[in-house]
């Protein structure tokens, strides 16, 4: 007999050798009927998985993300099955589940058309209706390679597996695929599927590899849930910053400029400037001192900091003609530059903490398959900062950083949309990190204590740390459900020593300081993308690139409209006027489409009484208001950063 600790903490005894499904069935027929997979000792497993020792066990239904993943991973195999039936010459790559569905990558000479997707989806429906038996089996490496000999991508995956790795397959009808699982016991519960789009994707995300065709889809157990998802998907498309940002004239791209190098148009530049001035002023209030450092450096600096060893592949390296001994690189981060500023003077413990900030233009060699709008680019601007402090000051300074981030996120209106991830090193991948296990454990424990003191609700992720220390990542999901890091806070135990940083303590001894790497708003481009999607382009008045638009009813009132514009502009309000000889209804509709917070219509009555007829996003038609009263109102709204 074995003991199984269930999710509610209860312990039950079962015969050894029972599967997760059999244990679920012994607990409840309903649970077994709805089960999608299991979690044994924190590892997601197939319902077929046999338990032979004492374990902790969770049974996952579609209500759990793990259950959704098992369903959608199973349907990704149905997609591959359907494609092979319709297009037998196509080669299979990979087909994982993702947060909102699944995808499968295929090698096909000509990309799938919209008509092809319709045929594939119909074939998938047919397979699901037939409900072929699903079985799992394992093979030794040589037999696995023989089975997959006609699938070159599968052969590559098998050859890359560790020698002791179990090589498992799933068979569905007469279709077999290399897969670790988990999968459903049966396709019968799946009542609703949809293929949503296709796109290009490099094999293994490497632009040096072949471009494959990726088909995205999703699956649900109820048609009503699929309908709700598709409705949300349409709303997401409307809010997608890559589409909406261009339509609203916030940014553009051009092939002659290059991929991952967006150009901010006047409206986008104004949003950027507004955010930057706010952040720099707020950081100054909190004791930060500004630096301005070069966009590039000799690689000697990056060698000293360790970036050359751990980050070289992500850097743009420049050749210095006529001097083979000097290699220059565009900076991917600012820390070694600000540390060099620190080293320009000898510091006492009385000087610490020193809080440096800089609005930094940075460059990272992102692969073409990863770049997307303003979210992932090759040149970006970061509200970067580094706090140099004594060991005793670390927790208080960390607390101050979190307080600043909380203020920024709350003011932007996205505090409730973010999550926290404690990113740790991977002790099994020491090449990726500075190899000092004792320092890693000590620093990670210190950060965990600080996070717990701050009552931050966080998840832990192994292998996501910076190469020089653990970090707190602030995560945000875009409208399509993809999660990105928008801000990081890092405790650094290594770079200060590597770059010779020191301070004189109260006993006159030279000591190595601690360093906290941080941002306050993150990458401005990514933040603007996030805000476009959050507000569907209808920015709060204080952030809106155009805060008010003045619309004269006819050209007879252009002079009065001009005086209204001057009065607002003199008070710092971002205002435009529409003097076109168009009907007023047309001009109002255009201003609304531009998401302008305030539309000010002026005609004979308004000109006579020094008024403006106000239409606001919040209240629609508000009628005539004295101009000076309106100016006072909008200035208060901007100053208080109202949403």
The 10s digit of each residue's pLDDT in 587-617 is: 999 999 999 999 999 999 999 999 999 999 9
Number of H helices, E strands in the chain: 20, 36
In this predicted model, which residue has the larger pLDDT, 376 or 91? 91
Tokens (6 digits) for 207: 């632009």
Q: What's the mean pLDDT in 423-429?
A: 84
Domain span(s) for CATH 3.40.50.800 in the chain: 541-640
394-412 and 266-285 helices cross at what angle (nearest 10)?
140
Look at residue 468 and tell me whether its pLDDT is greater than 90: no
Give one DSSP letter per residue of 241-295, joined into a string. HHHHHHHTTSEE--TTT-TT--EE-HHHHHHHHHHHHHHHHHHHHTTEEE----S
Look at residue 448 and tell me whether its pLDDT is greater than 70: yes
Q: In this predicted structure, what is the pLDDT of residue 356?
A: 97
Q: What is the DSSP letter of 372?
A: B
Q: For residue 321, name the pLDDT band (cuts at 50, 70, 90).
A: low
Q: In this predicted structure, what is the pLDDT of residue 433?
A: 82
Q: For residue 323, name the pLDDT band (cuts at 50, 70, 90).
A: low
Domain span(s) for CATH 3.10.20.30 in the chain: 2-61
For residue 446, the tally of other CB atoms under 10 A from its CB is 18
pLDDT over 90 percentage in the chain: 74
Strand partners, 619: none
For the domain made up of 2-61, give the CATH fold.
Answer: Ubiquitin-like (UB roll) (3.10.20)
Look at residue 519 and tell me whether its pLDDT is greater than 90: yes
Contact between residue 233 and residue 196 where contact means Cβ atoms under 8 Å apart: yes
Kindly report, residue by residue over 186-238, the tens digit of the pLDDT. 999 999 999 999 988 889 887 788 999 999 999 999 999 999 999 988 888 88
Q: For residue 165, name the pLDDT band (cuts at 50, 70, 90).
A: confident
Q: Please tell me whether 179 is known to bind a ligand.
A: no
Q: In this predicted structure, what is the pLDDT of residue 467?
A: 81
Q: Which CATH architecture has domain 541-640?
A: 3-Layer(aba) Sandwich (3.40)
Contact between residue 388 and residue 426 where contact means Cβ atoms under 8 Å apart: no
In this predicted model, which residue has the larger pLDDT, 237 or 117? 117
Look at residue 481 and tell me whether its pLDDT is greater than 90: no
Q: In this predicted structure, what is the pLDDT of residue 309?
A: 84
> What is the C-alpha to C-alpha distance for residues 368 and 205, in angstroms, rounded to an integer?
9
Kindly report, residue by residue over 40-84, the tens digit of the pLDDT. 998 999 999 999 999 999 999 999 999 999 999 999 999 999 999
- Least confident span in 73-87, 329-343, 450-464: 450-464
Strand partners, 43: 40
Look at residue 174 and tell me whether its pLDDT is greater than 80: yes
Q: In this predicted structure, what is the pLDDT of residue 324?
A: 60
Kindly report, residue by residue over 241-291, the tens digit of the pLDDT. 999 999 999 999 999 999 899 999 999 999 999 999 999 999 999 999 999
Domain span(s) for CATH 3.30.930.10 in the chain: 263-293+331-535
Q: For residue 430, name the pLDDT band (cuts at 50, 70, 90).
A: confident
User: What residues have CB less than 8 Å from 135, skipping those under 6 apart?
Assistant: 170, 171
Altogether, the residues listed in the chain come to a count of 643
The verdict on domain 66-224 having CATH code 3.40.50.300 is no
Tokens (6 digits) for 64: 């759990």
For residue 532, the tally of other CB atoms under 10 A from its CB is 27
| Average pLDDT along the chain | 92
Q: In this predicted structure, what is the pLDDT of residue 621?
A: 94
> What is the C-alpha to C-alpha distance for residues 357 and 336, in angstroms, rounded to an integer?
13
Q: In this predicted structure, what is the pLDDT of residue 237?
A: 86
Q: In this predicted structure, what is the pLDDT of residue 447?
A: 87
Look at residue 369 and tell me whether its pLDDT is greater than 80: no
> What is the C-alpha to C-alpha distance for residues 543 and 519, in angstroms, rounded to an integer?
20
Q: In this predicted structure, what is the pLDDT of residue 166?
A: 86
Q: What's the mean pLDDT in 19-26?
A: 92
Domain span(s) for CATH 3.30.980.10 in the chain: 66-224
Q: What's the mean pLDDT in 129-156?
A: 94
Q: Please tell me whether 347 is known to bind a ligand.
A: no
CATH number of 263-293+331-535: 3.30.930.10
Contact between residue 590 and residue 551 where contact means Cβ atoms under 8 Å apart: no
Q: In this predicted structure, what is the pLDDT of residue 96?
A: 94
Q: Please tell me whether 517 is known to bind a ligand.
A: yes
Q: In this predicted structure, what is the pLDDT of residue 99?
A: 86
Tokens (6 digits) for 483: 């999660």
Look at residue 109 and tell me whether its pLDDT is greater than 80: yes
Q: In this predicted structure, what is the pLDDT of residue 600?
A: 97
Q: If DSSP codes are grouped into helix, strand and coil, which group holds residue 58?
A: strand
Kindly report, residue by residue over 286-309, the tens digit of the pLDDT. 999 999 999 999 989 999 988 888
């Amino acid at each position: 007999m074995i003991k199984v600790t269930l999710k509610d903490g209860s312990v039950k005894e079962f015969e050894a050798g029972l599967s997760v499904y059999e244990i679920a069935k012994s607990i409840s027929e309903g649970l077994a009927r709805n089960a999608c997979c299991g979690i044994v000792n924190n590892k997601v497993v197939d319902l077929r998985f046999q338990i032979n020792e004492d374990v902790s066990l969770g049974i996952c239904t579609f209500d759990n993300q793990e259950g959704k993943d098992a369903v959608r991973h199973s349907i990704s195999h149905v997609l591959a099955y359907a494609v092979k039936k319709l297009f037998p010459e196509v080669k299979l790559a990979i087909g994982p589940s993702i947060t909102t569905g699944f995808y499968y990558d295929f090698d096909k000479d000509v990309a799938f058309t919209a008509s092809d997707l319709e045929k594939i989806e119909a074939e998938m429906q047919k397979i699901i209706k037939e409900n072929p038996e699903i079985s799992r089996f394992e093979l030794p490496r040589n037999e696995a390679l023989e089975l997959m000999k006609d699938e070159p991508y599968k052969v590559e995956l098998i050859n890359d597996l560790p020698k002791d790795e179990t090589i498992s397959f799933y068979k569905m009808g007469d279709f077999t695929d290399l897969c670790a699982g988990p999968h459903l016991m049966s396709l019968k519960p799946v009542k609703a599927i949809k293929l949503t789009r296709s796109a290009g994707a490099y094999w293994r995300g490497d632009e040096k590899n072949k471009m494959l065709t990726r088909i995205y889809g999703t699956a649900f157990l109820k048609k009503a849930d699929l309908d709700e998802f598709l409705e949300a998907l349409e709303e997401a498309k409307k809010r997608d910053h890559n589409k909406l940002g261009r339509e609203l004239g916030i940014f553009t791209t051009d092939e002659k400029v290059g991929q991952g190098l967006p150009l901010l148009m006047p409206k986008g530049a104004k949003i950027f400037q507004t955010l930057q001035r706010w952040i720099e002023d707020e950081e100054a209030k909190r004791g930060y001192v500004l630096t301005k450092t070069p966009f590039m450096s000799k690689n000697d600096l990056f060698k000293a900091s360790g970036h050359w060893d751990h980050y070289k592949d992500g850097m743009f390296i420049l050749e210095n003609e006529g001097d083979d001994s000097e290699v220059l690189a565009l900076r991917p981060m600012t820390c070694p530059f600000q540390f060099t500023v620190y080293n320009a003077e000898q510091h006492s413990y009385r000087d610490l903490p020193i809080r440096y900030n800089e609005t930094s233009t940075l460059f990272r060699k992102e692969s073409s398959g990863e770049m997307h709008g303003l979210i992932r680019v090759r040149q970006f601007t970061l509200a970067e900062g580094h706090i140099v402090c004594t060991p005793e000051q670390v927790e208080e300074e960390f607390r101050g950083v979190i307080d600043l981030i909380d203020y920024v996120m709350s003011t932007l209106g996205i505090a409730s949309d973010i999550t926290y991830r404690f990113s740790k090193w991977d002790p099994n991948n020491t090449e990726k990190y500075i190899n000092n296990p004792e320092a890693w454990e000590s620093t990670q424990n210190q950060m965990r204590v600080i996070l717990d003191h701050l009552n931050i609700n966080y998840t832990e992720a192994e292998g996501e740390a910076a190469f020089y220390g653990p970090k707190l990542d602030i995560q945000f999901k875009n409208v399509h459900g993809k999660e990105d890091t928008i801000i990081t806070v890092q405790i650094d135990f290594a770079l200060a020593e590597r770059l010779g940083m020191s301070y004189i303590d109260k006993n006159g001894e030279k000591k190595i300081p601690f360093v906290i790497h941080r941002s306050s708003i993150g990458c401005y481009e990514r933040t603007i993308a996030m805000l476009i999607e959050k507000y569907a382009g209808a920015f709060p008045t204080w952030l809106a690139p155009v805060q008010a638009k003045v619309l004269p009813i006819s050209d007879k009132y252009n002079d009065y409209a001009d005086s209204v514009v001057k009065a607002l502009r003199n008070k710092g309000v971002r205002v435009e006027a529409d003097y076109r000889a168009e009907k007023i209804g047309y001009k109002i509709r255009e201003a609304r489409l531009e998401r302008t917070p305030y539309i000010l219509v002026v005609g004979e009555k308004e000109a006579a009484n020094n008024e403006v007829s106000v239409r606001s996003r919040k209240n629609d038609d508000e009628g005539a208001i004295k101009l000076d009263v309106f100016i006072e109102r909008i200035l208060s709204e901007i100053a208080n950063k109202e949403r």
